[in-house]
Structure 1
Amino acid sequence: MNTLSMTENAAKRISELIVNEANDTSMLRVLVSSGGCSGFSYSFELESKINNDDQVFEQHGIKTVIDDISLDILGNSEIDFVEDLVGSAFKLNIPNATSSCGCGVSFAV
């Protein structure tokens, strides 16, 4: 079974974003779309709706929502939040990726 996990750093930052949004029912949605430099790209958004084809994972008090097709592509990936000299961003560590682009959000499987 495919899962989606999250680091404590990511959960902490998402919690801060949810508080700033003033909607405590918000969850993190992970989306995969075709395109990008390497074939697929991923994105994140906050929302409070769960669709029929969604899977919900909860870790560190944060719910993550992902549709079945995206989960098949991103299975067993880990969401992280990293901060460095260049800036800060959410990153997805994708074990199924055969290649990725320097942009950090485009990958191939």
Structure 2
Amino acid sequence: MTSTELTLSPSAAQRIHAIGKAEGKTLMLRVAVEGGGCSGFQYQFGLVEAAEPDDLRIERDGAAAVVDEMSLALLKGSEIDFVDELAGAEFKVRNPNAKSSCGCGVSFSI
């Protein structure tokens, strides 16, 4: 299943491709939202080779991310990005639904 409610940035797509190439596999980024963190919810990122049957698939430039239906409700309208800054390189979610987030950007509240 494909969703346009969530998007991948060009830099996230490039990074997913780079990791897959380095591993010699076709990988997808799994993005999930779980309860916890200092603001109530936290983002979880992982790399998987296959999607689960109920996952929603988001694609850009041949790269893919997968999200479970429960997490999608909290991610609608968001962009999954990859940033490489002085503080470090990481996947980030730019979530317009988040009313506040912690300093590290991994935890948020709605």
Structure 2 length normalisation: TM-score? 0.90
4+ residue runs of structure 1 moved beyond 4 angstroms?
Answer: none
Counting only pairs closer than 5 Å after superposition, residues 1-109 of structure 1 correspond to structure 2 as: 3-24=5-26, 26-109=27-110
1:46 counterpart SS class: strand
Structure 1 length normalisation: TM-score? 0.91
Aligned partners of 1:57, 1:85: CA distance in 2, in Å? Answer: 28
2:5–2:76: 8 Å Cα contact kept in structure 1? yes
CA pair 71-2 structure 1, distance change in 2 beyond 3 A? farther
Task: Provide the aligned length of Structure 1 versus Structure 2.
Answer: 108
2:58–2:64: 8 Å Cα contact kept in structure 1? yes
Cα displacement (A) at 1:76: 1.4
The gaps in structure 1 that reach 5 residues or longer are none
Percent identity of equivalent pairs: 47
Cα displacement (A) at 1:59: 1.1
Cα-Cα RMSD: 1.4
- Give deviations 1:14-48, integer Å, cap 9, x for gaps: 11011112112x21110111000100000211112
2:13–2:64: 8 Å Cα contact kept in structure 1? no
1:42 counterpart SS class: strand
Cα displacement (A) at 1:2: 6.3
Aligned partners of 2:29, 2:15: CA distance in 1, in Å? Answer: 11
The gaps in structure 2 that reach 5 residues or longer are none
Aligned partners of 1:81, 1:50: CA distance in 2, in Å? Answer: 21
Amino acid at match of 1:55: L
